[in-house]
């Protein structure tokens, strides 16, 4: 995924951030088959783009306490 494709992304913070700025990630919805993720403290760094399946497995693992 190119930087240009992500330039129009609408980013949202993790609901676990409680509005704070420390230790947060942001994700951008609306990209078919992938989930872009970036560090909310340094948004100038490139996003990491995961497959939708890998992202879902990660979120499920965190929610279940497995990770």
The pTM assigned to this predicted structure is: 0.79
Task: Report the Cα 22 to chain-centroid distance in Å.
Answer: 15
Q: DSSP string spanning 20-47? A: --SS-EEEE---TTEEEEEETT-TTSPP
**Most distant CA atoms of the chain, gap in Å:** 36
For the cut 90, the answer to whether the pLDDT of residue 1 exceeds it is: no
- Looking at residue 20, what is its pLDDT? 61
- Looking at residue 21, what is its pLDDT? 59
Q: What is the mean pLDDT of residues 1-24?
A: 76
- Looking at residue 40, what is its pLDDT? 85
- pLDDT tens digits, 14-52: 776 666 656 688 999 999 999 999 988 888 899 999 999
């Amino acid at each position: 995924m190119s930087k240009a494709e992500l330039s129009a992304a609408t980013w949202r913070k993790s609901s676990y951030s409680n509005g704070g700025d420390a230790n947060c990630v942001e994700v951008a919805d609306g990209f078919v088959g992938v989930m872009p993720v970036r560090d909310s403290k340094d948004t100038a760094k490139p996003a990491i783009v995961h497959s939708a399946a890998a992202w879902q497995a990660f979120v499920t693992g965190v929610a279940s306490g497995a990770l």
